[in-house]
Amino acid sequence: MTRHLSLIALAFVLVSLSGSPARAGSTNGSAGDMPAFYDGKVFTINFKELPPDAEKSAIAHNAAINKIFMSDPGLPGGQPFISVLDAIQGDGFNPLWREFQITFSNGHTPRQLTSDTEVTDAAQNGEITIRATDEVYRCSVVGPK
């Protein structure tokens, strides 16, 4: 267990060091904080996209990348879709997350999903489709909402 945590910490440090230089509109530090659902509860996550070469490498060589489900078009009334996580610390957590885009099928009103189980069920029922993207993020759960 200690070795596993040490490897995760090392991976986090390496990913953090490989980030691109800060620029206007940066998501460094707490500017990258956002809400996300995990098993029906809202958590605060800190979120930063990896550089393109690091994304490609992570997808090709890291079988333990977690999933973060997003729906960029949002919800009715202009409300944002809050991202959904498939793991947090203590439940298969890896600090790298691959984005999966959710698209609601015709005839289904977009709604907030709150767990990876709910996402899977909605996909199996034809309510949504899920598409893997090439985007990978360094993401950590920094607290409850």
Cα 61–chain centre separation: 18
pLDDT of residue 22: 34
- pLDDT by residue (tens digit) across 47-57? 899 999 999 99
Find the Cα–Cα–Cα–Cα dihedral 41, 44, 46, 48, rounded to 10°. 60
Annotated domain spans of the chain = 2-19+31-144
| Alpha helices per DSSP H over the chain | 2-17, 52-61, 116-124
Q: How confident is the model at residue 88 (pLDDT cuts 50, 70, 90)?
A: confident
pLDDT of residue 91: 61
Neighbours of 100 (CB within 10 A): 21
Q: How confident is the model at residue 87 (pLDDT cuts 50, 70, 90)?
A: confident
Neighbours of 73 (CB within 10 A): 12
For the entire predicted model, the pTM comes to: 0.76
